[in-house]
Amino acid sequence: MQSRKRDHMTITHRAARRTRVLTALAVGAALTATLAACSSDSDDGGSASAPSGETSADSALAQEITTLEQPLDAFPVPTDKVDGVADLAGGTIYYVPITSRAPQFAITQAEITVAAKAAGLKVQACDGKGTPTDISACITQATHAKAVGIVLDGLAYDMAANAIEGAQKAGVPVVISNQMTDERHPATETFSNVGTAGSPQMIALAKWIMFDSGGKANVLINEATDGASQIAYVEAAVDEFTKDCPDCTVTVNKVSSASFDQIPSSTSSALLKNPDIDYVISEFAEFLQPTAQGVQQASAKVTMTTAASALSTLKELKGGATLQAATAQAAGYQGWVDVDAILRLHAGQDVPEYEVPTRLFTPDTLDGVELTSDAEQTGAWFGPATYTDDFTALWGVN
């Protein structure tokens, strides 16, 4: 087995140093712009050069990462009003996540409940447990209960196609959330997809690793194989490495919610086969702990990153022991979007293409971020959480 090029302490110090470079570059860019605007003597029209020791590509990537780390000025709420919301009062929306293990889904469930209550509705949650049998049973239960609608979170249509089609035939609207649109299953009067933030999160982690490693990373990605979308998110990251980091190497290790207990041994095996790996991406935060167990089993010295983060993830990130970068999406906002989509299907109105905000976090950028359950649930990590009033105004229930 080859010896490691760096120990973990070196990697951690490098990550902190390069994160500080991001800030310096951002400040430098702002100063350059100010000086250029104030100067009346220069007429050469040339562009500013990259800071000493940094290539223009490094500088551009640093600026991208700085942007990924910033909150929004406002959440992207639709503008078209929804008709007939009051007519649904007292009904129930069923929320079916692919697995309740995912902390992200717990946040979405909490905010679906708040949003539904604002619209005069109730929510019934049913754990899909990562298996087609359990998912189908949840959908069938909702159909028999004559639900106002069914929100399926993080699972593919094909995992429960018969049950989904049965619900639609019974007049129960179905929304698949957090999945890419499947051309084989286009939107209908009773079915729609709601936007996914999977690929942007994975691409953000790829960019951070490229910069942090100086363009020479050996990366292991634990890819969830629970559906085509989860695989596509990883492919987006791999494509990013291929395009912009020729000296990076990426190994993909396949894991799944249904085989959760096998993730530690699977991760350990992948690391032992590839001893030069120095970065690990866990595609979802629910896989982070078993992935870390696999790292320990292999006695590997790596920098950990993860997507789909929750409060516990960011608290671990702030400690900065091993986890060095994490992305998250506004899972609470997603809950309001899901309810909005169900209401629009009931009204016979077009369902818009929602955008779910994401953000990149590192230990150095968590200062000023309120690491509380309330901030996580409302989406305050991503921007001003005033979108709830915007949605209720659209629904006519303010």
Query: How many distinct structural domains can be found in the chain?
Result: 2
pLDDT for 185-209, tens place per residue? 999 999 999 989 999 999 999 999 9
With 50 as the cut, is the pLDDT of residue 37 above it? no
Give the CATH number, domain containing residue 342: 3.40.50.2300
One-letter identity of residue 32: T
* 338 and 321 co-located in one domain: no
State the amino acid at position 104 in one-letter form: Q
| pLDDT above 90: percentage of residues in the chain | 82
Residue-range definition of the domain harbouring residue 306? 8-29+199-329
Task: Evaluate whether residue 159 is within a structural domain.
Answer: yes
The reply to whether 267 and 321 lie within a common domain is yes
**Would you call 66 helix, strand, or coil by DSSP?**
helix
* Same-domain status, 325 and 335: no
Whether residue 129 lies inside any domain: the answer is yes
Helix (H) or strand (E) holding 162: helix 161-169
Q: Is residue 257 part of a domain?
A: yes
Per-residue model confidence (pLDDT) at position 306 = 98
Q: What is the pLDDT of residue 57?
A: 80
Amino acid 322: pLDDT: 85
DSSP string, 213-248: TTS--EEEEEEE-SSHHHHHHHHHHHHHHHHH-TT-
Does pLDDT of 32 surpass 80? no
H/E element holding 97?
strand 92-97
pLDDT for the residue numbered 27 = 41
pLDDT tens, 202-248?
A: 999 999 999 999 999 999 999 999 999 999 999 999 999 999 999 99
Q: Is the pLDDT of residue 22 over 50?
A: no
- Contact predicate 285/310, CB 8 Å: yes
Q: 54 falls in which pLDDT band (50, 70, 90)?
A: low
pLDDT of 6 above 60? no
pLDDT of residue 53: 55
> Are residues 260 and 158 both part of a single domain?
no
Residue 10 scores a pLDDT above 90: no
Assess whether pLDDT exceeds 60 at residue 14.
no
**Residue 263 predicted with pLDDT over 60:** yes
